[in-house]
C-alpha cells in the first residue's frame, strides 16, 4: 500500500499565527526572567565545574569522573567563553533549546488543527517543570528539545521522503545521546512506535529505507564517546542522580509534568493544580487509547506520541527497578511533556472539551507565575545573604554539599560571596564533607554551617556539636540549609 497522504494544508496554518507568536514570546520571556532571578542549584554547580575546565581535553577528562555524556557541558563552556559566567549566560544553551522545542511542538501539533496547536504549545510553555528545567544550566531542557525534534522528524518521514527531516532527525538523535543516557529510552520507543505506525500504514519497507542511513550516521558519530568515556563511567560505579523508584515517585512524576512546586499555591491551590494535572493526563490518555478512531492520516502520529508520553515513563521506571543505576525521577521524563500536551490538545479538540483544557492552561499559568516570582528550588544566594546580614567579627563559614567526590565543596558560598559582597576569607577549608583542620573551629566565636543534604552520620556534625550549640536553622528551598553554631 502507498504511504498515507500528508495532512491537508490549511492556509491558516501556513501563516504566522499572532497567538502562537505571543505564546512563544511569553514562554521565552518567562524563562529568561526566571534564569536571572534564581540562583544556581547544586547540579548547575556541577555543570559549571565541568564547563570551566581549561580546554577540551581537560573538560572530557573531568566528565569521565561523572555519569553524564559531555555535550551539555561543552555547550555551557562555549556560552561561558563567548558571553561570561553569570547565572544567565550559563543557562543560554537551555534557553535556546526551549525556543527550538516550541517550534517543534507547533510542527507536531499542526496536523491536529490550529486550536490543538495553540493549546499544546501553551501547555508546554506554561509547564512549571519545563519552565524550571529549561532555565537551568543542565542537560534536561536541551534533551527535551532534541527528543521533540526527533519526534517531528520521524513523523514527517512516516509521511514520505524528506532530506531536511532526515538531517534534523539524525542531528537530534545524536545530540540526545550525547546529552543524557536516559535518551536511550526515548529513542528506543520512538523507533518502536514509528515502525509499528509504518507497518499499520503499509509503508514499513519505505520507512526503513528513509531512516537507515541517518541512523547509521548517528551510530558512527556516537562511537567516539560511547566506546571510551561511557565505558570508563560504567566502571566507577557512581550512583544515578534520579532514584525516585517508588510507585509514589512514578505518580508524582506524571503529576509534575505540568505542575511543579504545588506548595506555592497553598492548600486550595495544590488541590486545584492536582485536578488540572489529572484533567490533562485524562485527556491525553483518552486520546492515546482511542487512536484507532482517529483519521487514518493521524493514527500513526497518535501512536508514536502515546509511546513517548505514556510508555517511556512506565518502561524506564520498570527498568530502574532491576537496574537502579539507569535512574528515574521527574525531570528525566521532561521529554514526555510535549507529546503529552499534543495528545491532550488533540483529545480536547476531538471531544469538544476545550473549556476543560483552557481551564488547565489558566491553572498552569498561575503556577508558572508563582514559580517565576519565587527564588527557585535551591536559594543559595538567599543563604549567603542571610550570613552576610548577620555577620559578626570572629565568625567563620563551613560550606559543604553532599555530592559525588569528583566535585569540590564550597562553590555556592564562593560564587555568591563575590556577587553579594559577603565577608572574604571566611570559609574554612574542607575536603569533601570533612574539615581539613577541625582544630580551627575553636578560633571562632560562631560558625555558620551552610550545607546541602548533609547526612547526620558525617563526622563534621559531631565536630560542630562538640564545638557549640546550634542556635537556629534556616531552610532555603529543597536542600540548602544554614545553621548557626555558637561556641560553648
Q: What is the pLDDT of residues 198-231, one digit of tens each?
A: 999 999 999 999 999 999 999 999 999 999 999 9
Between 22 and 350, the more confident residue is 22
Residue of 146, 217, 219, 132 lying closest to 180 (CA atoms):
146
The pLDDT-based confidence of 488 (bands split at 50, 70, 90) is confident
Q: What is the pLDDT of residue 352?
A: 63
Residues 312-322, mean pLDDT to the nearest whole number: 95
By the 10 Å C-beta count (0-12 exposed, 13-18 middle, 19+ buried), 256 is classed as buried
Residue with cell 515517585: 249
Q: What is the pLDDT of residue 240?
A: 72
Distance in angstroms (rounded) separating the CA atoms of residues 288 and 304: 9
pLDDT above 50 for 161: yes
Which residues are registered as beta bridge partners of 431?
434
Q: In what order do the strands lie in the sheet with 446-452?
A: 395-401, 446-452, 480-487, 468-475
Helix (H) or strand (E) holding 304: helix 296-306
The pLDDT-based confidence of 400 (bands split at 50, 70, 90) is very high
Q: What is the pLDDT of residue 12?
A: 47
pLDDT above 70 for 6: no
Distance in angstroms (rounded) separating the CA atoms of residues 121 and 143: 18
Q: What is the pLDDT of residue 290?
A: 85
Q: What is the pLDDT of residue 13?
A: 52
Q: Are 210 and 166 in contact (CB under 8 A)?
A: yes
Q: What is the pLDDT of residue 9?
A: 44
Q: What is the pLDDT of residue 367?
A: 97
pLDDT above 80 for 10: no
Q: Which of 261-265, 293-297, 339-343, 383-387 has the lowest mean pLDDT?
A: 293-297
Q: What is the pLDDT of residue 281?
A: 97
The pLDDT-based confidence of 8 (bands split at 50, 70, 90) is very low
Residues 372-380, mean pLDDT to the nearest whole number: 91
Amino acid at each position: 500500500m502507498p504511504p498515507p497522504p500528508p495532512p491537508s494544508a490549511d492556509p491558516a496554518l501556513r501563516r504566522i499565527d499572532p497567538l502562537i507568536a505571543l505564546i512563544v514570546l511569553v514562554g521565552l520571556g518567562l524563562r529568561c526572567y526566571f534564569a536571572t532571578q534564581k540562583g544556581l542549584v547544586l547540579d548547575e554547580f556541577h555543570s559549571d565545574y565541568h564547563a570551566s575546565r581549561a580546554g577540551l581535553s581537560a573538560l572530557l577528562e573531568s566528565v569521565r569522573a561523572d555519569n553524564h555524556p559531555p555535550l551539555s557541558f561543552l555547550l555551557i563552556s562555549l556560552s561561558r567563553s563567548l558571553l561570561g559566567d553569570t547565572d544567565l549566560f550559563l543557562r543560554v544553551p537551555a534557553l535556546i533549546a526551549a525556543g527550538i522545542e516550541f517550534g517543534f511542538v507547533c510542527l507536531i501539533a499542526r496536523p491536529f488543527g490550529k486550536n490543538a496547536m495553540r493549546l499544546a504549545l501553551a501547555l508546554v510553555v506554561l509547564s512549571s517543570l519545563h519552565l524550571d528545567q529549561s532555565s537551568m544550566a543542565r542537560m534536561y531542557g536541551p534533551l527535551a528539545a532534541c527528543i521533540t525534534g526527533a519526534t517531528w522528524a520521524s513523523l514527517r518521514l512516516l509521511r514520505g521522503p524528506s532530506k531536511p527531516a532526515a538531517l534534523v532527525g539524525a542531528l537530534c538523535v545524536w545530540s540526545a545521546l550525547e546529552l543524557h543516557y536516559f535518551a536511550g529510552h526515548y529513542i528506543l520507543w520512538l523507533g518502536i512506535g514509528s515502525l509499528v505506525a509504518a507497518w499499520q500504514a503499509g509503508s514499513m519497507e519505505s520507512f526503513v529505507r528513509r531512516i537507515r542511513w541517518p541512523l547509521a550516521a548517528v551510530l558512527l558519530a556516537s562511537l567516539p564517546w560511547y566506546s571510551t568515556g561511557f565505558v570508563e563511567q560504567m566502571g566507577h560505579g557512581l550512583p544515578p542522580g534520579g532514584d525516585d523508584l517508588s510507585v509514589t515517585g512514578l505518580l508524582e512524576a506524571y503529576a509534575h509534568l505540568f505542575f511543579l512546586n504545588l506548595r506555592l499555591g497553598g492548600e486550595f491551590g495544590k488541590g486545584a493544580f492536582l485536578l488540572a494535572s489529572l484533567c490533562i493526563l485524562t485527556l491525553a490518555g483518552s486520546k492515546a487509547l482511542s487512536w484507532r478512531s482517529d483519521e487514518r492520516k493521524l493514527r500513526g502520529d497518535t501512536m508514536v506520541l502515546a509511546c513517548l508520553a505514556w510508555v517511556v515513563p512506565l518502561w524506564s521506571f520498570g527498568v530502574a527497578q532491576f537496574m537502579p543505576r539507569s535512574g528515574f525521577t521527574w525531570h528525566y521524563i521532561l521529554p514526555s511533556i510535549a507529546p503529552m500536551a499534543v495528545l491532550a490538545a488533540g483529545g480536547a479538540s476531538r471531544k469538544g472539551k476545550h473549556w476543560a483544557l483552557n481551564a488547565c492552561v489558566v491553572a498552569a499559568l498561575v503556577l508558572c507565575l508563582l514559580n517565576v516570582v519565587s527564588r527557585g528550588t535551591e536559594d543559595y544566594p538567599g543563604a549567603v545573604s542571610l550570613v552576610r546580614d548577620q555577620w559578626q567579627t570572629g565568625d567563620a563559614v563551613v560550606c559543604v554539599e553532599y555530592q559525588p567526590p569528583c566535585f569540590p565543596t564550597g562553590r555556592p558560598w564562593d560564587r555568591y560571596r563575590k556577587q553579594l559582597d559577603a565577608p572574604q576569607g571566611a570559609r574554612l577549608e574542607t575536603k569533601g564533607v570533612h574539615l581539613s583542620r577541625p582544630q580551627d573551629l575553636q578560633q571562632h566565636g560562631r560558625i555558620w554551617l551552610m550545607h546541602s543534604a548533609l547526612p547526620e552520620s558525617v563526622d563534621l556534625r559531631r565536630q560542630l556539636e562538640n564545638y557549640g550549640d546550634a542556635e537556629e536553622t534556616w531552610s532555603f528551598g529543597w536542600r540548602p540549609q544554614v545553621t548557626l553554631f555558637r561556641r560553648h
